[in-house]
Amino acid sequence: MTVDLCGGCGRGQPDAMRRPIVSVFGGVAVPLAIVAAIVPVRAHVENTNVALGLAVVVMFAAALGGRLAAIPASISAAVSFDFFLTRPFNSLRITGSNDVQTTVLLVLIGVIASELVERVRRSSAKAAATRSELETVYRRAELAAGAESPGQLISLAAQELTRLLDLKSCRYVPGPAPLTMPELRHNSIRVPAGVDPAAHALVALPVRAHGRLQGHLVLAFPFDTVGVTLTTDQRHAAVALADQVGVGLLRFHDTT
């Protein structure tokens, strides 16, 4: 029996759905609450000072929640300012030109702030991805050329696989894997019909060199699963790494 991987669909969906709702609600509620608190003393407060305070709130919302929080916050701030603090009160009509400009600026601040924050986040994410790729290239180069013994080669491979697949542990065993152990392949996980339920967290990754089986890596996942949460890229990278280990082991054997 072969189980195709689906990349962990459905994990974290409640949190992912909740965050946008919280961002939008917070963006709308906070400026409204601030303006409502000022209403009893609005005759003694300059609208300019209130507008500056609301602008700070909008910027803060942008920094915390990005576009999802900043745009609702700016609209809420503008509407609340217009409705409660400009004449005629409790109306969306504005009679003063300065108040019109302030209301429009509050919306513009939210749009500009959200765009700036999104650009910074995209740049940070791109930089982090680049660093991760460079670190992976370095580790693979170290694995290919820096290992001075079979033990060091296997240790480097185990460290990289543990990081790549988020494993509890990884160890090398010479020879073929037990027929009852699930096996990681490029396109799927082969799950034998008689697999031991107690070993669902263990998956074998064959180590081959030019078609010759050298041994297998035992991958211990943190949960009782046969690796069905792995993505396609993770599978391909793991198999390629195991093949690299196989070639390295064959090289060591040929030189001894």
Weakest mean pLDDT among 46-60, 87-101, 193-207:
193-207
Highest mean pLDDT among 139-153, 192-206, 240-254: 240-254
pTM: 0.49
- Map tokens 């924050």 to a residue: 117
- Could you state, in order of their start, the residue ranges of all structural domains in the chain? 9-125, 147-254
Q: Which of 84, 72, 80, 102 is nearest to 40 (CA)?
A: 84
pLDDT of residue 125: 79
Residues in CB range of 146: below 8 A, 6 or more apart? 156
Q: What is the pLDDT of residue 199?
A: 61
* Per-residue exposure over 160-173, b if at least 16 CB sit within 10 Å of its own CB, e if not: bbeebbebeebebe
The token duo for 17 is: 């759905």
Specify the pLDDT at position 205.
Answer: 95
Q: What value does the mean pLDDT take over residues 104-121?
A: 86
Mean pLDDT, range 120-126, rounded to an integer: 81
Q: Check: CB of residue 34 under 8 Å from CB of residue 51.
A: no
What CATH code is assigned to 147-254?
3.30.450.40
pLDDT tens profile 210-247:
888 999 999 998 877 667 778 888 888 888 889 888 88
